[in-house]
Homo-oligomer: A and B are copies of this chain.
Amino acid sequence: MEKLAPLTFIKSNTFDELSKFLKTKNYSSYFILCDENTLAHCLPTLITKCKLLTDAEIIEIESGEENKQLEIVANIWQTLIDFNADKNSLLINLGGGVITDLGGFVASTFKRGIDFINIPTTLLAMADASVGGKNGIDFANIKNVVGTITQPKAIFIYDNFLSTLPQRQYSNGLAEVYKIALIANKKLWQNLSEKREAKIIETSVGLKQKIVAKDVHDKGLRKILNFGHTLGHAIESFLLNTENPLLHGEAVVIGMLLESHIAFQKKMITKEIFIEIETVLCTHFNIEIKEKLGFENLKPIISNDKKNSSNKIRMALITDIGACTFDVEVTEKQIINALNYFEGNATKRN
């Protein structure tokens, strides 16, 4: 199995785990990438507790998926140049999925690759985005169509940062935890209502690392992590430039619901299982959307999905709660059926 980044939970109040790591590495300079939220709520903690970072250069970008784009990447490259970053500099990504995706891409391409570490500050990033080495930016309205797979040197999780998170952002992250449970661990799914945060993050991240380690380059097993994402990504991309964009996790919840319906249509799961999934997701998440979806809007985005080749639509689909398979061919009709089911029920829910 290929080596992944070590994942450390910061439990000491003095961030000793992080300081110890930095001391062994002897970097020439530190750069911290953050957005206005982590600048205000997380950066002060980080640089107060970890003295080595007192003189780090701070690079601030605006928060939000709409900033995960080439122009911002170019600005960050320029800043690194302006502040004499060299091949031995370290980039510290302090933020949610946008920061870790963007920062990972910047670091993996600057001077042909400099070291970076992730300090995720959202549940989404802790449980999912910061782990596994996938990075990227959106381009031509397609999510993550440009990027690399490059592992961070380390990931540090400090779950106190979650207390700074608004509820909507928290739910956003919970979606990926539910996904991991659905594809890989029935017991986690059953225990999710308990909500013991640190434990849930640890289990969820552990499951993800186990899957990624078996298939770092995304040629096989790792594709099960895409459950809910083929349609979730398409919905997220489609709504990105409307007045009512969804957060990634919100789109993924709807994606999981739709793709579970497709698995049910294909008789890969029973009606009972589908109803259980639907009930749990609708209870724990807000799945209302204001725009009408419609297959014709999603189709061009789906056909550009990285997971699809040769004009065939393939998805990762669950075969039970806690079990998943990948590269399942899906017809347009099955997607349309799922969308009709979802939008029909939306009318009922309203």
| A interface residues with partner B (beta carbon < 8 Å) | 28, 70, 74, 77-78, 81, 84, 86-88, 105, 108-113, 134, 136, 139-140, 142, 144-149, 217-218, 303-304, 306-311
| 18 sampled A-B residue pairs with Cβ under 8 A | A70-B74, A77-B139, A77-B146, A78-B139, A81-B304, A84-B311, A86-B310, A87-B306, A88-B310, A109-B147, A109-B148, A110-B145, A111-B306, A112-B149, A112-B218, A112-B306, A113-B148, A148-B148
| Residue among A84, A112, A145, A148 with the highest chain B CB neighbour number at 10 A | A112
Q: Are B147 and A81 in contact (CB under 8 A)?
A: no
Of the residues B28, B74, B146, contact of A310 by C-beta under 8 Å: B28
Determine the distance from Cα of A7 to Cα of B199 in the docked complex, in whole angstroms: 51
Nearest residue, chain B, Cβ from A142 = B81
CB closest residue in chain B, given A150: B148
Copies in the complex: 2
Residue in chain B with minimal CB distance to A147? B112
Closest 4 CB pairs of A and B: A86-B309, A111-B306, A88-B309, A28-B310
A140 to B108 alpha-carbon distance, docked (Å): 18
Query: Are the C-beta atoms of B112 and A109 separated by less than 8 Å?
Result: no
- Set of chain B residues within 8 Å of A139, measured between Cβ atoms: 74, 77-78, 81
User: Chain B residues near A136 (CB, 8 Å)?
Assistant: 112
| A115 smallest CB distance to B (angstroms) | 12
Q: Which B residue's beta carbon lies closest to that of A311?
A: B84
Closest to A146 in B: B109
Report the minimum CB–CB distance from A137 to chain B (whole Å): 9
Return chain B residues, CB-CB under 8 Å to A307: 87
Contact between A140 and B304, CB atoms less than 8 A apart: no
